[in-house]
Amino acid sequence: MYKHPLLDRDKITPKEALEVLVEGNERFTKSLSLHRDLLSIVNITKDKQHPFAAILGCSDSRTASEIIFDQGLGDIFSVRLAGNIASPFAIGSLEFSIKYLGSKLIVVLGHSGCGAVKAACDNYTGGHIGEILKHIQPAVQHEQGLNQHCDSNDLEYVGRVCQSNVEFQIQAILDGSEIISSMLEAKQIGIAAAVYDVSSGRVTFDYSKSLF
């Protein structure tokens, strides 16, 4: 599926788009990534892009969405910010992908050992980094309410904040975008919650927190 970058993208459903990503990550974790003629795809996509999914992920150098989901050029509209935060500009980018490029799925992708999450757990406030971490604080405050006196040295706690942060960023997207919320309500798109494990290469989707 999806060897051709423009194949049936108008007909694919949000759940089918999710299946493509799940299958791609399965290939990646088994070292079975598809061979792609990338220069051919460059030629095919030179006049138009039609990514089937938009992914809000972290800027971490280990989490490139196209690689971990085994996708090619033109497949994923990648929005990357430290801590996979749903800033206004990130939300606007996601809106552009679903409204004007036809993407059927938004994935909010956290990852294990996230430096931004760790910094938020330690209440770092310096420089522009602090502006980023403000978006993660709701997740920190939620987990601190359940587990007081924790910091980035507690890796289980960091993991819980990472998962909560994905949920809070999804809610921030819905609260901040009438375009996205209305398209979700009309079942034109889906939103999936996921966390990538940097030690195994596996992406775990939380279907209970995903919206279709």
pLDDT at residue 7, as a whole number:
63
Instruction: Give the whole-angstrom CA distance, residue 183 versus residue 55.
Output: 16
Number of domains in the chain: 1
Say if 23 falls within a structural domain.
yes
Domain span holding position 49: 14-113+162-211
- Beta strands at 190-196 and 203-211: parallel, antiparallel or unpaired: antiparallel
Domain assignment present for residue 52? The answer is: yes
Please indicate, yes or no, if residue 64 is contained in any of the structural domains. Answer: yes
Q: Tell me, yes or no, whether 44 lies in a domain.
A: yes
DSSP state of 84: G
Per-residue pLDDT of the chain in tens (212 residues, 90 and over written 9): 445 565 678 889 999 999 999 999 999 999 999 888 888 889 888 998 999 999 999 999 999 999 999 999 999 999 999 999 999 999 999 999 999 999 999 999 999 999 999 999 999 999 999 999 999 999 999 998 776 678 899 999 999 999 999 999 999 999 999 999 999 999 999 999 999 999 999 999 999 999 99
75 lies in some domain: yes
Q: What CATH number is associated with residue 93? A: 3.40.1050.10
Q: What pairs with residue 53 in β-bridges? A: 76, 105
- pLDDT on residue 204: 98
pTM over 0.95: no
